[in-house]
Each structure stands twice: as structure tokens, then as C-alpha cells.
Structure 1
């Protein structure tokens, strides 16, 4: 487990590391940059590099040690539904999340087709939030695959947003996160794209979270939209405290 600066979660938990790029949203992958940095620091878990997908059985025990309720981003450094992650291991990860119902686990994938395919084989529980990344209109089919899953809470991560997304079908979607790309070569995000998505969420009564404008200096760019911050979360988030 690791503390994180990601605005919409509290901790990261990585039972899998390593990935491969599949679409335009992967071009300047944050996980790839971080993997290279950790590898250079001699961190054992990342010695195989980014392009080698590795499972970490020992990491499965970590959530059982947390004493207080947490909001946890699962596999920030990989994709749990990557083709090189065995179904049996994915099932183990889901069982760990089910066993630890006092925590909220946020799982995010770009491999939405595999998610839909194996969803019936996974032990879903109330505390597993399932999301897909959608960077532009070329990958909108990921949302349809997400809808086919058995997740109680379904969310979209529109980050890095590199194109407009008018008329998103938000049926069955509980939460939308929007963010611009960061880094020296960051592709620009048009404010009109963000405003349009915010209005779509408002009309559909879907929680909207604006993460960042991004760019070369994301801290300076900030995360205000129309002079305010949007930190909305699904209503069910509070149920973990009941």
C-alpha cells in the first residue's frame, strides 16, 4: 500500500505491476514513468520494468492489515484485466476485496472487453467500484462493456481527455472523473470539452469530479472549473461508514 496524491482516492494497492500500451491515452503513461523511476531507485517490485507484467501474491495480504476504512485505487501501476494476468489471480484479488468490505476498492481498466467477458466469474461485492478509462470518442465502447459488468458502482475516468465527448451515454454510470494530461509533452485539453461533460453529468444526475487541468505545471494550472472545485462522489461512498 502507498499514500497517493491522486485526488479521488486515499491509497494505492498494486498486486500487479507492468503493462503495455493499447490506445492513444497510453502515450505518456504515468505508470511507465513511475516504474522507470522506481526501477532506477532499486525497488525490487519494479526491477522487471514496465513492459513485463508481474503478479505479486504477497501483496494479497496487505488489505487484511488495514485497521481503518480506506478508499483504495487498485493497480495504479498496471491494469488488472491485462491479458497476461491469469483469471485465477484476478479472482483472488476480487476475493480479497470482498473479504474486506469495510474498504472501498476502485478498479480502473482500459481492457473493458475482458472485464465484460469474465465479469460473471468474479466474486463481486458492494465495495468494489469498477471504472473504465475513456480518453476520446474512439474508445466509447468501453462504457458499454462496463455496463455489462456486475459492479454495483460504475465510473468513468475521462483522463487524459484528449478530445470532445459529446452525448455520452451515462445510463447506469454513477461517477465521472475528468482530467487533463500532465507532463512536458502533455496534449492540451479544451475547456469546452470539460464544461460540456460537466453539464451532461448535471443533467443526468451523475457525480462529477474534476481532477486537474494538467499541462507542464499541473499544480499551477490547478483544478478549478468555473471558479470552483468539483469533488462529487457517488452517494454510496458514505455507506462504508454505516
Structure 2
């Protein structure tokens, strides 16, 4: 089934695939790893064949769940839906045909707005022309530090209605971040026992870049041992800016 979400910038999660593997420093303390282990130990069927997201190779498991494709059709009231909070739809092990099926569900449920996030921006760019892009799909890439700025360049070539950046966990400054072609930026510090601290200057620089480019800015958290440990205030203000949902996605 789909799950109501506690993530501040969405309302529900939908996981047509589960499982992933490490691709960069932002994956080191992945919340999905801890959660998937817990669900697997609880005997939740969907997570029994997934591998450790920090490893790859013959023992790695990424599972596709065709039965999950029907879930959004069961939601009548409009929702903001985060796609694959526990996986990456553009992982190399997910066939193009299955990606197309996910996109088809999105197109056939225009009452919802879907947020799809990937670290595999190169494959996203390569497949973009082979996909039909519905107007109720927002496409984003994760950007944890300046060494992965190429993901933003790849995203710019994707014909999504909204292109967005998730700078979480933010692990370094994003100096000279260019926001042309980008419609939304999320920033957040890391949480958990092994969290790496975020510096205020890094967050302020991104906020200022968003303000200058007139791009909505969403500050999710400072992070700490728990997601709420450091709060969400930046200079005394909560930043909850988001793009407007497209009229065609709600009518």
C-alpha cells in the first residue's frame, strides 16, 4: 500500500521499486537502509529480496513491484506523492519498460502531483527522450556537494514540468550554484547517530541564490541525532516555498 509521509515537502510515498546501492557520499548514512532492514526483519514481504544499499555485485537485490502500480489509482483525493523514497527508479537494474509503466500511472492519475528524485542523473538524461513526460511529474536530482554539480547539468536537459534539486544531506558548499532551468530547491542537514554537520553559510548561500533567481526555496532541517533535533528555522524564519501545482494536474 502507499504510505502517508512525515517528509515535510510531500504528503505520501509510493514505492514501485525497492532496494538501491551506494553511489556517492550522500548515501553513506541512508535512512532507507535503516528502514528497509527494519521492515525486512519485521517480515514485510516487499523488502525480503532487497540487498544492502551500501553494496553492489552478485548479492545485490533491487526489487520491482508491479502490484504497486495500481496504488495511486486508489487515491481519489489529490496528493503530493514522493516516488521511490526507498529506491531509485533510474537505477541501471530497473528496465526502461518498467520506468515507462510508472510514468504511465502518473499520466493516468492527473489529480496527483508526483515528485521523482534520482542520483543517477546520467541515466535519467539518456532515457529522457524515450519517455513521455506527464505535466504532473516533477523531476529532481540529489546534490550533496559541489563534486556532483554535473547532475544539475543533466537535469536541465530533461523535459519535466518542474526540475528540482534536493540538497540533502548537504555535505559541503555549493559555490556558484546556477539555477537556470531549475524550479525548486530543497536543502537539509543530515540526521542520525552518524550525522555529518551542515554549516549555516552553506544554507544561506543557497537560499540567497534562490532568492536572486526567484526559485522557491524549502529548508527541511538542520539535522542532528534526529531529524527534528536542530529544528527548521533559518535566521528565525521557516522556509516552506514550493512550486505551484500545475492546473492540469488538479483539474
Q: Given the two structures, how large is their TM-score scaled by the length of structure 2?
A: 0.94
Residue 118 of structure 1 corresponds to: 127
Cα distance, 1:238 vs structure 2: 6.4
Cα distance, 1:102 vs structure 2: 1.0
Residue 42 of structure 1 corresponds to: 43
Deviations 1:169-191 (A, max 9, x none): 10010000000000001001001
Paired residues, number: 242
Q: 2:139 aligns with which of 119, 130, 138?
A: 130
Q: 1:193 aligns with which of 202, 217, 221?
A: 202
Q: Any unmatched runs of 5+ in structure 2?
A: 53-60
Runs of 4+ residues deviating >6 angstroms: none
Q: Does 1:233 align with 2:242?
A: yes
- Going by fraction, where is helix more abundant, 1 or 2? 1
Deviations 1:93-130 (A, max 9, x none): 00110111110000000000000000011111110000
State the distance in 2 between where 1:68 and 1:206 align.
Answer: 28
What is the correspondence of 1:1-242 to structure 2 with a 5 Å cutoff? 1-51=2-52, 52-236=61-245, 240-242=249-251
- Is the CA contact (8 Å cut-off) linking 1:135 and 1:158 kept in structure 2? yes
- Is the CA contact (8 Å cut-off) linking 2:5 and 2:11 kept in structure 1? yes
State the distance in 1 between where 2:233 and 2:142 align.
Answer: 22
Residue 164 of structure 2: SS of its match in structure 1? strand
Cα distance, 1:160 vs structure 2: 0.3
Residue 129 of structure 1: SS of its match in structure 2? strand
Root-mean-square deviation over aligned CA pairs? 1.1
State the distance in 1 between where 2:22 and 2:104 align.
Answer: 27
Residue 154 of structure 1: SS of its match in structure 2? strand
- Is the CA contact (8 Å cut-off) linking 1:25 and 1:135 kept in structure 2? yes
Cα distance, 1:241 vs structure 2: 4.0
- Is the CA contact (8 Å cut-off) linking 2:40 and 2:48 kept in structure 1? yes
Cα distance, 1:218 vs structure 2: 2.9
